[in-house]
A and B are shown apart, each in its own frame.
Chain A
Amino acid sequence: MKILVCITHVPDTTSKISFKDNNTQFDTSGVQFIIGPYDDYALARAVELKDATGGSVTVLNVGEATTEPTIRKALAIGADDAIRVNAEPTDAFFVAQQIAHYAKEGAYDLILMGRESIDYNGGAVHGMVGELLGMPSVSPVMKLEFDGNNAKMDREIEGGKETLELSLPFVAGCQEPIAEWKIPNMRGIMSARTKPLNVVEAVDSNGKTKVNGYEMPPAKGEVKMIDADNVEELVKLLKNEAKVL
Chain B
Amino acid sequence: MSILVFVESADGIIKKSSLEAVAYAAALAKVQGTEVNAVAMGAIDNEELAKVGNYGVTRALHVANEKLNKGVIQAYASVLAQVMEKEGATTLILATSSLGNPVAARLAVKIDASLATNVTDLPETSGEFTVTRSIYTGKAFAKTVMNGEKKIIAIKKNAIELSESDEQANVEAFDAQLDDADFAAKITATEKAEGDVLLPEAEIVVSGGRGMKGPENWSMLEELAKSLGAATGCSKPVSDMDWRPHHEHVGQTGVKVSPNLYIAVGISGAIQHLAGVNSSKVIVVVNKDADAPFFKAADYGIVGDAFEVVPKITEAVKALNN
Q: Which residues of A contact B (CB under 8 A)?
A: 11, 13-14, 17, 19, 37-38, 92-93, 96, 116, 118-128, 130-132, 136-140, 142, 155-167, 170, 173, 175-177, 207-217, 220-221, 223-228, 231-232, 234-235, 237-239, 242, 244-245
Assess whether B303 is in contact with A225, with CB atoms less than 8 Å apart: yes
* Interfacial chain B residues near A130, Cβ < 8 Å: 74, 105-106
At the interface with chain A, which of B27-35, B46-54, B167-175, B184-192? B184-192
> Does B176 make an interface contact (CB < 8 A)?
no
User: Is A158 touching B200 in the complex (CB atoms < 8 A)?
Assistant: yes
Contact A159 B187 (CB under 8 A): no
Stretch at the interface among B56-64, B86-94, B110-118, B210-218: B110-118
Q: Which of B92-149 contact A (CB under 8 A)?
A: 96-99, 101-106, 108-110, 113-118, 128, 130, 132-148
Contact between B109 and A93 (Cβ–Cβ < 8 Å)? yes
A242 to B299, CA, bound (A): 9
Whether the pair B253, A176 counts as a contact (CB closer than 8 A) is: yes
Indicate if B316 sits at the interface (CB-CB under 8 A): yes
Expressed in whole angstroms, the Cα–Cα distance for A123 and B103 within the complex equals 10
Bound complex: CA of A155 vs CA of B118, how far in Å?
A: 20
Label chain A's interface by main secondary structure.
mixed
**Cα distance A170–B139 in the bound complex, in angstroms:** 32
B6-20 contact mask (Cβ, 8 Å, vs A): 1 or 0: 000010000100000
Are A165 and B115 within 8 A (Cβ)?
A: no
Given contacts A124-B105, A131-B110, contact A215 B303 (CB under 8 A): no
Closest chain A residue, CB of each to CB of B308: A228
Contact of B118 among A121, A173, A223, A237 (CB under 8 A): A121
The reply to whether A118 and B136 contact each other, CB–CB distance below 8 Å, is yes
Measured in the bound complex, the distance between the Cα atoms of B73 and A155 in whole Å is: 11
Determine if B191 and A239 form an interchain contact, defined as CB atoms under 8 angstroms apart: no
Given A212-B145, A217-B140, A225-B300, 11 more contacts at CB 8 Å? A11-B136, A37-B253, A120-B135, A123-B117, A127-B103, A128-B109, A140-B98, A160-B245, A163-B187, A234-B313, A245-B317
Expressed in whole angstroms, the minimum distance between the Cβ of B242 and any Cβ of chain A is 10
Q: How far apart sit A124 and B15, CA to CA, in the bound complex (Å)?
A: 21
Task: Say yes or no: A123 contacts B101, CB within 8 Å.
Answer: yes
**Is A131 a contact of B261 with CB atoms below 8 Å?**
no
With A37-B252, A119-B135, A121-B136 already in contact, the answer to whether A159 and B302 are too (CB < 8 A) is no
B113, B198, B204: which contacts A158 (Cβ < 8 A)?
Answer: B198
Partner of B73, one of A127, A167, A176: A127
Tell whether, in the assembled complex, residue A238 and residue B261 are in contact, meaning their CB atoms are under 8 Å apart: yes
CB atoms of A137 and B102 under 8 A apart: yes
Distance in Å: Cβ of B42 to nearest Cβ of chain A: 14
Ordered by A's residue number, 10 sampled pairs between the chains whose C-beta atoms are within 8 Å are A13-B272, A37-B253, A124-B108, A156-B98, A162-B190, A211-B145, A215-B142, A224-B300, A235-B317, A244-B204
Give the CA-CA distance A136 to B77 in the complex, in Å. Answer: 11
Name the B residues within 8 Å of A19 (CB-CB).
140
Knowing A137-B73, A215-B141, A225-B302, the reply to whether A158 touches B135 (Cβ < 8 A) is no
- B190→A157 contact, CB < 8 A: yes
Chain A residues within 8 Å of B146, by CB: 208-209
**B297 part of interface (Cβ distance < 8 Å):** yes
Nearest 4 Cβ contacts at the A-B interface? A127-B105, A228-B304, A160-B192, A208-B114
A203 to chain B, nearest CB (A): 15
Q: Across the interface, do B143 and A231 meet the contact criterion of CB distance under 8 Å?
A: no
**How many whole Å from B129's CB to the nearest CB in chain A?**
10
Q: Which residues of B contact A11 (CB under 8 A)?
A: 136
Bound-state Cα–Cα, A122 to B300, Å: 32
Candidates A14, A158, A176; contact of B271 at CB < 8 Å: A14
* Contact of A213 with B184 in the complex, beta carbons under 8 Å: no
CB-based nearest A residue for B124: A212
Q: Are B299 and A223 in contact (CB under 8 A)?
A: yes
Q: How far is the CA of A217 from the CA of B132 in the complex (A)?
A: 12
Report the bound CA distance from A242 to B204 in whole Å. 13
B147 (CB) vs chain A CBs: closest residue:
A208
List chain A residues, Cβ under 8 A from B189. Answer: 162-163
Q: Which residues from A are CB-within-8-Å of B185?
A: 136, 138, 164-166, 170
- B226 adjacent to chain A (CB < 8 Å): no
B272 and A224 contacting across the interface, CB-CB below 8 Å: no
- Per-residue CB contact flags for chain B residues 286-311 toward chain A (1 = under 8 Å, else 0) read 00000000011111111111001100
B228 within 8 A of A: yes
A123 touches B316 (CB 8 A): no
Report the separation of the CA atoms of residues A33 and B32 in the bound assembly, to the nearest whole angstrom.
42
Q: Tell whether, in the assembled complex, residue A128 and residue B106 are in contact, meaning their CB atoms are under 8 Å apart.
A: yes
A13 to B275, CA, bound (A): 9
Complex CA gap A235/B201 in Å reads 22
Chain A residues closer than 8 Å to B134, beta-carbon distance: 121
Shortest Cβ distance from A37 into chain B, in angstroms?
Answer: 5
Known: A162-B191, A166-B184, A224-B301. A245 touches B253 (CB 8 A): no
What's the minimum C-beta distance from A8 to chain B, rounded to whole angstroms? Answer: 12
**Chain A's nearest CB lies how many Å from the CB of B269?**
11
Find out whether the CB atom of B312 lies under 8 angstroms from the CB atom of A231: yes
Are B144's CB and A210's CB within 8 A?
yes
* Residue picked from B102, B187, B246, most chain A C-beta under 10 Å: B102
